[in-house]
Amino acid sequence: MKERVRIGIVGAGWAGRTHAKHYQKLPWVDIVAWADVVPGLAKAAADELGVLADVYLDYRDMYEKADLDAVSVCTYNMGHRAPAVDALELGKPVLLEKPMAATLEDAQAIMRAADQSRAFLMVGFQPYFSAEQKAAREIVATGTLGEIYYAETVAHRRWGIPGGNFVRKASAGAGSLVDIGVYAIHAALTIMGNSQPVSVSAIAGNHLAKNFVGTQPAFGGPWKAEDVEVEEFASGFVRFANGAALIVKSAWASNIDSMGRTFFLGTKAGLALDPLEVYINQQIGSLNMTASPKNLRPVEDWPEKIRAFAQAVRDGGPTPIPPHWAYLVNVIMDGMLRSAAVGYEVKVSAEYS
C-alpha cells in the first residue's frame, strides 16, 4: 500500500480540471504532472486550481520524465487510445474518461493493452457509483427479478446539443451516443449482468440540428447547423446471446419532454430507475406490489469515482469498474452506428484479441 499517490493528467479541458478538483479533495493524492497539446492550457489549469504540477505539451514527455503512480486520461474522445495504451504498456493504472473510445477499433486496442498490462484500467462511468445504480445491481444479484428478458435504457435531453468538440467527427467520433448514450448503455449492461450482444438494428440522425437557423450557445461552444457532423439522436434494438433484448434511446435534442424511463422486465419482477422501484405482480394474494427503498443515502458519484480509482492505485487494485462493461458499450454503439448507416440489422461481436 502506497502512502501517497502521484497522479498525472492528460488533457486540461473540462474533464481534466474536474478530475483535478476531486483529486485535490484527497489529502493523500498529489497531482504532479499535467499535459495538454494546446500551448499554455495545462499551465493555466494548474495555476487556476493551485496545483503544483510540472506541465507538458506532449503526454509522452510527461510519462518519460514524471514520477507517476497513475494517469487520468481526459482528452477528447478520438484522443483516448494512444495515451491510455502507452500508460498501460508502462504499467501505470489508467482512469480513462468515458467512453472507452469513440471507435470500436480503438476500444479493442485499449482492451488488448489492458489485458497485457500489469496495471489496471478503469473507464470513468461515475453513475456506476450512484446509490440508485448500486442498489439496482444488488437487487438483481439476489435473484429478485428472475431472468431479465427485456429492458429499455434512456439518455435524453429536450434541447441540449453541446457544440464545440462534441459535434465534430474528428474529435468526438460520434454524437449523443458517445456523449450521453454511453451512460445509459453502461447502466443497462451492468444491471442486466452477463449479457453478450449478438446483433443490433438502429436509426440515427441529426434531424433537428440540420434545420436549426442561427447560432446556438452551448456548453462546448456555440454551434450552427453546418457544424454538427455527428448524430443528435439514435435509437436501437439490441439482441443478446441469452435471448434478452435491450432498447437504447439517446438524444441531445427531441421534440418531447420524455422518452421514458430506464427499466428492466424479469420473470419474477420488474425494476425501473429514476426513481428506483421494484414491481411484483400477485405475490401476496391478488395484490400487485410496487416497492421503493426509503433509506438510500445520496452518493456524490463524481467524487466517489475519483476516490475509488485513487484508492485502488494506493492499495494495488483491483479496478473499481471492470472495463469489460465499457468495452461492450463500444460494441453496441458501433453496431448502432453501422446499422443506422446501412439501414438494416447487423451482427456484433465482443471479440477483440
Residue 268, in any domain of the structure: yes
Cell of 306: 475519483
Residue 316, in any domain of the structure: no
- On whether both 80 and 195 belong to a single domain, the answer is no
pTM assigned to the model = 0.96
pLDDT interval class at 1 (50, 70, 90)? confident
Indicate the number of domains in the chain. Answer: 2
Provide the domain limits for residue 171. 128-300+331-347
**End of a domain among 103, 124, 145?**
124
- On whether both 28 and 92 belong to a single domain, the answer is yes
253-277 confidence digits (pLDDT tens): 999 999 999 999 999 999 999 999 9
Average pLDDT, stretch 97-121?
98
Q: What is the CATH number of the domain that holds 229?
A: 3.30.360.10
- On whether both 78 and 18 belong to a single domain, the answer is yes
282-301 confidence digits (pLDDT tens): 878 888 999 999 999 889 99
- On whether both 213 and 154 belong to a single domain, the answer is yes
pLDDT at 244: 97
Residue 324, in any domain of the structure: no
Q: Which residues pair with 250 in a beta bridge?
A: 155, 234
Average pLDDT, stretch 60-74?
98
Closest residue by Cα to residue 188 from 330, 349, 348, 325 = 325
Closest residue by Cα to residue 164 from 286, 14, 24, 49 = 14
Torsion of CA 222, 228, 234, 240, to 10 degrees: -110
pLDDT at 285: 85
- On whether both 219 and 274 belong to a single domain, the answer is yes
Residue 305, in any domain of the structure: no
Q: What is the CATH number of the domain that holds 54?
A: 3.40.50.720
- On whether both 221 and 269 belong to a single domain, the answer is yes
